[in-house]
Amino acid sequence: KNQVEQSPQSLIILEGKNCTLQCNYTVSPFSNLRWYKQDTGRGPVSLTIMTFSENTKSNGRYTATLDADTKQSSLHITASQLSDSASYICVVGATSINNAGNMLTFGGGTRLMVKP
């Protein structure tokens, strides 16, 4: 069964500090890995998308890395801001057989709180 596990479940950091969120997956055959930001009471918003051939992707202060060999990804947030307080969701896509289905597996998310 395809699974995506994220750690930690929650994290509190001080404004201005850096942090790294982890994502481990067992999804096969691997197609792509996405990170989303979800503010409280809102829908997820895409931060990065990486395919098999990419091992890093940046979006402003967000940098995602991918190690397809160990099936791990991380999201690094630099110089955190209060507005970074949100849940961060790792999503792994599998190559669909016969082009069927959505083939996305969502992690449970890491809830980040940035304090002043």
Partner 1 sequence: NAGVTQTPKFQVLKTGQSMTLQCAQDMNHEYMSWYRQDPGMGLRLIHYSVGAGITDQGEVPNGYNVSRSTTEDFPLRLLSAAPSQTSVYFCASSYYRPSGRETQYFGPGTRLLVL
Q: Which residues bind partner 1 (CB under 8 A)?
A: 4, 31-32, 41-46, 49, 51, 89, 91, 93, 95-96, 99-109
Minimum distance from residue 116 beta carbon to partner 1 (Å): 27
Minimum distance from residue 10 beta carbon to partner 1 (Å): 11
Question: Residue type at 39?
Answer: D
- Is 73 or 80 the residue whose CB approaches partner 1 more closely? 73
The answer to whether 112 and 15 have CB atoms below 8 angstroms apart is: no
Minimum distance from residue 69 beta carbon to partner 1 (Å): 20
- Is 47 or 80 the residue whose CB approaches partner 1 more closely? 47
- Is 70 or 99 the residue whose CB approaches partner 1 more closely? 99
Q: Phi/psi class of residue 109: alpha, beta or left (left: φ > 0; alpha: ψ in -120 to 50)? A: left
| Torsion angle of C-alpha atoms 69, 73, 78, 82, degrees rounded to 10 | 180
The answer to whether 60 and 48 have CB atoms below 8 angstroms apart is: no
